[in-house]
Amino acid sequence: MTYDRLVCANCAAPVNEGRCPVCRASRARLQQQGQGQGPFAGLSPAMLVALLVVLVGALALLAHQTV
């Protein structure tokens, strides 16, 4: 989950602005969780599907050429 769209229940401001201590703590926690997620963590689901389609197409082309 990204914190750019979250709204703080304490101050009703976006969490990424960090206006209150609750916002700053949540932002820090979410940033720590996001650092160790791997190379595909920042990609949208649509981009992941597109990459999968390209990969399957490449494998099919490779399999067709070796037969």
pLDDT in tens, 11-65: 988 888 888 998 888 888 877 776 656 677 777 889 999 999 999 999 999 999 8
| Alpha helices in 1-44, H assignment, sequence order | 21-35
Domain extent for 64: 40-67
- pLDDT (0 to 100) of residue 37: 64
Token representation of residue 56: 């399957």
How many structural domains are present in the chain?
Answer: 2
Is 67 strand, coil or helix?
Answer: coil
The one-letter code for the residue type at 58 is A
Reduce the DSSP state of residue 42 to 3 states and report it. coil
Are both 25 and 44 inside the same structural domain?
A: no
The reply to whether 13 and 29 lie within a common domain is yes
Using alpha carbons, list the distances in angstroms from residue 25 to 4, 8, 16, 22, 51. 14, 11, 11, 5, 35
pLDDT score of 2: 56
Structure confidence at residue 34 (pLDDT): 63
